[in-house]
Structures are given as structure tokens and as C-alpha cells.
């Protein structure tokens, strides 16, 4: 997990009028258009005759009251566009493309409306040498032919740093060795996935005479 800071431009509450849309010191008065109801009745003529519809009052925007004097900073809207910095806590185990919801950090609605939510989509940078599948990670390690036959302990890079890995006798090329609990942490949990090491046997292209002779002697036994 990590904490990141991001900058974005969005509709935010006016700092001068605190989102009311009224100039500092102005009083809130009952809307004369809707008489404080926040709604007005409109008449529409159609081919079937006149129809009544109830709509939100355009003067007070449904609040039933309005400021006696508009805020000059936001023009009476109560909001204006500005740059804000947001700190985002990214949980351990998040995968590429997953989103984090920040409640109340979205755009603010005008005329005293509330704020929506902000959704931050995570883009996870790949780590060289590591492949992720779900909560498991995969790496590759090269060993020599004698190490594969006789077994050995080798050092490998994990998410927690360098670790000694036991290579069992008779390991075959392409075999996966599992390290339990060394993968990616599960979201909302303390448990972790596993780390799988794919073994590749290194075959030398050139051999000394002595090494070739010893391999010839072992040819019949292997």
C-alpha cells in the first residue's frame, strides 16, 4: 500500500459565500416566484389540450429561498472551478484497472447542492522480472545442471527482498517451486498469495576437456 497525492480541476464550493450563492452579509429571503415552495406549476398546450406540470423553480433552484444579493465571486452559483490536491490511500493488493472510491470528493452541485464521489482508477507499473496473476507472482531462476541433479540453495529476488530458496534434487527445467505467502497481499485481508519460481537449467555451450571427459564418464549412469 501507498499514499499518493493527485491534482485535479473540478467544481468546488465557493470559499467566499460558502456555497450559498449569496454575497457576504446578505440575507436569505423567501423566493417570490415560488412563494417558498421550491416548485412552480407550468401550463403547456398540447394537441390533447392544456396540461399542468410541476417543475423546479428556476429562480431559487428548488431551495424556496434566495440571497438578497448574489455573490460576485461565483455569480450566485455557489460553486466555481478550481484546482485541488487530493491524497489517495491506495490499499495493498490493488490490481491494475481497479478503482478506489472517495466519498464526497467529486464535483459540487451548484446552488447549495452536495458533492459527488471521486473514483480513482489505479494503473500498476510492471516490475521487471516479476509477473502477476491474481495475488500470485512468478519469477524465473537459472541453475546449473549439477544443481538440478544434486540440489542446492540459491538466492532469488522476492517482493520482500533477497531470499534463499532450496532447489530439490532432480529438479527439471520448467519446474515451478512454490514459496508460500510471499505473493501479493489480498485486498482487505492480511493474508498473501504465493511466489512461484520457474526453474531454467543452464546448459553451457562450451566445455573444457576435463569437464567433457567427466560428462562422458557419467553418460552411462544418467
Q: What is the reported pLDDT for 59? A: 83
pTM above 0.75, yes or no: no
Q: Tens digit of pLDDT for each residue in 158-186?
A: 999 999 999 999 999 999 999 999 999 99
Region of poorest pLDDT, from 62-66, 84-88, 166-170, 194-198: 62-66
Which distant-in-sequence residues (6+ apart) come within 8 Å of 63 by Cβ? Answer: 31, 38, 111, 112
Q: What is the reported pLDDT for 222? A: 60
Q: What is the reported pLDDT for 179? A: 96
Q: Tens digit of pLDDT for each residue in 44-77?
A: 887 777 788 888 888 888 888 888 888 988 988 8
Average pLDDT of span 139-165: 94
pLDDT over 90 for what percent of the chain? 55
Q: What is the reported pLDDT for 220? A: 67
> What is the helix (H) or strand (E) element at residue 81, kind and residue range?
strand 79-90
Flag whether pLDDT at 137 surpasses 80: yes
At 221, the pLDDT band (50, 70, 90 cuts) reads low
Which distant-in-sequence residues (6+ apart) come within 8 Å of 106 by Cβ? Answer: 10, 115, 116, 117, 118
Average pLDDT of span 198-215: 84
More confident residue, 157 or 18: 157
Integer-rounded Cα radius of gyration of the chain: 34
Q: What is the reported pLDDT for 32? A: 87
78 closest CA partner among 17, 11, 9, 23: 17
DSSP letters spanning 19-68: TS-BPTTPPEEE-TTTTTSSEEEEEEEETTEEEEEEEE-TTTTTSSEEES
Average pLDDT of span 81-101: 94
DSSP letters spanning 151-213: -EEEEEEETTEEEEEEE-TTPPTT-EEEETT-SPBPTTSS-B--EEEEEEEE--S---HHHHH
Amino acid at each position: 500500500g501507498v499514499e499518493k497525492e493527485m491534482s485535479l480541476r473540478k467544481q468546488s464550493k465557493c470559499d467566499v459565500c460558502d456555497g450559498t450563492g449569496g454575497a457576504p452579509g446578505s440575507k436569505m429571503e423567501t423566493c417570490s416566484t415560488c412563494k417558498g415552495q421550491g416548485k412552480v406549476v407550468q401550463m403547456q398546450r398540447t394537441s390533447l389540450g392544456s396540461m399542468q406540470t410541476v417543475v423546479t423553480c428556476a429562480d431559487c433552484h428548488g431551495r424556496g429561498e434566495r440571497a438578497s444579493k448574489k455573490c460576485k465571486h461565483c455569480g450566485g452559483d455557489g460553486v466555481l472551478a478550481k484546482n485541488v490536491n487530493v491524497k489517495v490511500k491506495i490499499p495493498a493488493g490493488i490490481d491494475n484497472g481497479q478503482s478506489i472510491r472517495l466519498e464526497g470528493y467529486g464535483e459540487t452541485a451548484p446552488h447549495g447542492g452536495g458533492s459527488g464521489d471521486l473514483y480513482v482508477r489505479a494503473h500498476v507499473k510492471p516490475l521487471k522480472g516479476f509477473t502477476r496473476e491474481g495475488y500470485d507472482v512468478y519469477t524465473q531462476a537459472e541453475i546449473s545442471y549439477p544443481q538440478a541433479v544434486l540440489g542446492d540453495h540459491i538466492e532469488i529476488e522476492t517482493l520482500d527482498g533477497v531470499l534463499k530458496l532450496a532447489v530439490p534434487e532432480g529438479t527439471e527445467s520448467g519446474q515451478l517451486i512454490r514459496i508460500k505467502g510471499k505473493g501479493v497481499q489480498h485486498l482487505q485481508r492480511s493474508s498473501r498469495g504465493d511466489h512461484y519460481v520457474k526453474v531454467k537449467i543452464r546448459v553451457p555451450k562450451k566445455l573444457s576437456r576435463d569437464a567433457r571427459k567427466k560428462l562422458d564418464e557419467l553418460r552411462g549412469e544418467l
